Amino acid sequence: MSLFGYPAIVTHYQANIDSWGRVSGYISVTKNAKVVEEQKEIRNAKGEDIQSIAEIHLEGPQLVRTQDYFEYVNALGQLIRYDVRHIEIKKEMGTDDVKKVIIYA
């Protein structure tokens, strides 16, 4: 477990959404990220308190939905799947430019 995060390569599985709003498959994309394995309580978009076990930091604007998931190989060589629990967008101060996207799993 790291409180500062590991530079990592994560596989982002983007959900294909059909016309009924259901997931009809996934497209995998490999991305550079920073993964912080830390357990914390956060508040999601619905205002509910939820437990997060990790943060995935992606630089720049990213298209991430709550139906997506990420896979990551940790420092012990274990493949871990992270489901998206909450998405936070960080912007450059005073602008609308997206600095990074933080995914709470």
Q: Tell me the average pLDDT across 28-37.
A: 92
Q: What percent of the chain has pLDDT over 70?
A: 95
Q: Report the DSSP pairing between strands 6-17 and 69-73.
A: antiparallel
| Lookup: tokens for 92 | 């450059």
Buried/exposed 47-64: b ≥16 CB within 10 Å, e otherwise? eeeeebebbbbbeeebeb
Helix (H), strand (E) at residue 11: strand 6-17
- Residue 105 CB neighbours (<10 A): 19
Q: Pick the residue with more confidence: 30 or 38?
A: 30
Is the pLDDT reported for residue 1 higher than 50?
Answer: no
Tell me the pTM: 0.84
Q: Tell me the average pLDDT across 32-60.
A: 89
- The number of residues in the chain equals 105
Q: Tell me the average pLDDT across 56-85.
A: 90
